[in-house]
A and B are shown apart, each in its own frame.
Chain A
Amino acid sequence: MIGKKKVSVQILIVIILILGVIWAGFPILWMFLNSFKPNAEIFAWPPTWISENFSFDAYKAIFSNPEQVRFFVNSYVIAGLVVIVTLIVGIMASYAFSRFNFPGKGLINTIIVSVQAVPPITLLIPYISLIVTLRLYNTYGALILTYLVFTLPYCILMTTGYFNTLPKELDEAVMIDGGSRWKALWKILVPTAIPGLVSVGMYTFMQAWNEYLFALALTKTNDMRTVPVGINLLMGQHAYEWNQMMAMSVLGSLPILVLFLFFQKYFIAGMTAGSVKN
């Protein structure tokens, strides 16, 4: 009886696994296959799987164009800096939310949740004006600051939840020994929270890496632009470089994939973070 049940559960799991792979992986597989086809063939009927004209031309075109390589460099620099600054600023704020009760806490929290609601497209005009006033237009700074404020709310919400799961005695012990709060935060709380912070950092990285609207609007020269803008630049008025778009997307997802593999252990354990208490 029990054995039978186990087998049927196993079969169910295998079925779900297979369906899941098709659902999640097929579109990506299709993108990958298309990056090796000539443009016209991408729309052939019946569709071709492995092209007879299989070629790495699209990839070669990207690597031989210094402008497109530059997009990747920019994306790394910007996303990397955003992660660092978001984490530092976010951790400090989360510490305040997690360890103190103070007037205005609820208000600030509500604002942090609700400001995410304004569609970025409506902020576009006032935002560009602001960046121009700050003399940051067409700089890394503009993009870093922008992504910072867009990723901070998420970072704070999740990190606060994570700090809440850590007992107060942990940092109080440091202070009793004469250490400062600052020390308690960075020497004790943060190292204990590393898994959660890795997951927040990963997500922040992805947000910064994939953002398009402001990446385009706040820059004007191609040497300041990022991968998503580069992909969209391949869509001309008359000609779309389909295979190059696909190739660039594949390449663009690689760093995130590598990071994900590298941090997987933390990532999974860490997301617990956000909310599970005690």
Chain B
Amino acid sequence: MKKKTVMKKVLSIGLASAMVLSLAACGSEKKEDEKKQEGDSSGVTLEFQQWWGVELPDGALQKICDDFTKDTGIQIELLSNPYADTKTQIAAGAAAGTMADVVGLDGAWVYDFAKQGSISNLTELMKEDGYDDSQLSDQIKYEGNTYMIPVVNFAYPLYVNMDILEKAGVSEIPATWSEFLAALDKIKNNTDAAGFSIPLSTEAPNGIQNQFMTWLWASGGSMLKDGAPNLEGNKDLAKVVDFVKEMKDKGYIADGAEAMKEQDMVNEFENGRLAFMVDGISHLTLIKEESPDLNFDYAKMPVMDGYEGESGMDVANWGIGIAENCENKKEAMQFVEYLMSPEVNAELAQLANAFPGNANANPDYSQNDELFKKAFEIFQSGYATNEFTGLPTSEDLMRSFNEQLVLYLDGDTASVDEMLGAAQKAWEPAFE
């Protein structure tokens, strides 16, 4: 008798909680069922996971998607994730089968996701669709096939705080390394500001790509040779390392670099404590908004003394890919093509303060800031590059290079050759 009542109670509690849970579950499961029942494109719902929405004017991305729905009947459900966790979420979601149909990607992740088989081969999808890919300014490939298309690109020019320069007595924006060092020296002696900043936090090691390697690329150098790492014995790279070491030893670099993230560097710049930084133009609106009185300008990256070739300019991008487990790949491709179409692509680029991924797109930048137009000119005078895009475990490569660089800057590594040798050794297993 007693046991029975116990059992009864257990059961009723169990049932009650199960009901609560299943009620909660109902809400979202319905949607999935609806999706599956409908056959052809109209009525299909695609999930589009990205981190772009928050970076664009409120509701802009939603409007672009709504227009697509109006034309095709395909619903787009926008899902957003915090940027810092996007990669982990895609990796876990791909393994568990919960990845969204269309995903925003960073070029640095493509190799790993393609290898893992979590994103689709876009070359095949474009072929099936008869899409003319010559209009795309770039495609990120893995083993010869495209897996990501850059939707818009953000260039990384040199930001210059003109007031600090004036106060320090630097009359002209430096164009070469020696001019740059001379300017930094004046800044150190005549102002309280720091000259330059390299964010070297190991949490987000992209300072290696955006604020370090950018010096190499600007002077026509390369860290790769035939797609394999070429760090050891790379003379150009050795010069860049020593150039940075000189800045560090002479106290030109802002304090706390080893724990700094890009965002922290921007905060320093916004508060007038930093003379030069290399940063995405995507920050332009933000800086103008948050520090309206800041007098700053864009400039080309200073180049190695004597270098006269074209300069590579570091770019980051918002890329797009399609999940391998997407059930409506045809519709997903249709959406990607829509985002890449000249008009939509131009609009996105204009809104994001970026350059379009479609070569035929012609964004109307007349509404954008004067400075943006200047950056655009600088961008067009060189070529876009980012050697980390499409490399295996890119983020890890940056992190291990970061560690070797910090060791050398701290004086723990005897010579630059030794440092680059160690970095080479750390990189090689990823390329096997």
Instruction: Write the residues of chain A forming the contact surface with B, with a CB cutoff of 8 angstroms.
Output: 38-40, 42-45, 81, 85, 88, 92, 124-125, 128-129, 132, 135-141, 144-145, 180-182, 216-217, 220-222, 224, 229, 232-240
Contact = CB atoms under 8 A, between A and B. Distances in A.
B414 interface: no
Contacts of B291: 40
A220 B29 contact: no
A135 B24 CA distance: 11
B24 A144 contact: yes
B430 interface: no
B77 interface: yes
B83 A237 contact: yes
B51 A236 contact: yes
Contacts of B79: 220-222
A172 to B, nearest CB: 14
28 contacts: A38-B290, A40-B267, A40-B271, A40-B290, A42-B267, A43-B268, A124-B88, A124-B92, A125-B96, A129-B95, A139-B24, A139-B25, A140-B21, A181-B2, A182-B6, A216-B81, A221-B77, A233-B81, A236-B54, A236-B83, A237-B83, A237-B282, A238-B55, A238-B280, A238-B282, A239-B54, A239-B55, A239-B286
A40 B270 contact: yes
A138 B30 CA distance: 12
Contacts of B280: 238
Interface in B59-91: 77, 79-85, 88-89
A127 to B, nearest CB: 8
Contact of A88 (B13, B22, B29, B95): B13
Contact of A129 (B80, B96, B263): B96
Contacts of A81: 20
A244 to B, nearest CB: 11
Contacts of B83: 235-237
A229 B49 CA distance: 15
A237 B51 contact: yes
B273 interface: yes
Contacts of B254: none
B9 interface: yes
A240 B291 CA distance: 14
Contacts of B54: 233-234, 236, 239
B107 to A, nearest CB: 13
Interface in B1-53: 1-2, 5-6, 9-10, 13, 17, 20-22, 24-25, 27-29, 47, 49, 51
A220 B47 contact: yes
B226 to A, nearest CB: 32
A43 B79 CA distance: 31
A136 B268 contact: no
B98 interface: yes
Contacts of B10: 92
Contacts of A224: 28
B166 to A, nearest CB: 20
A33 B88 CA distance: 33
Contact of B29 (A125, A128, A135): A135
A224 B79 CA distance: 11
A229 B79 CA distance: 13
Contacts of A233: 54, 80-82
Contacts of A135: 25, 29
Contacts of A43: 267-268, 270-271
Contacts of A236: 51, 54-55, 83
B256 to A, nearest CB: 12
B85 A232 contact: yes
A180 B5 contact: yes
B283 interface: yes
B96 A144 contact: no
A126 to B, nearest CB: 8
B97 A132 contact: yes
Contacts of A137: 28, 98
Contacts of A42: 267
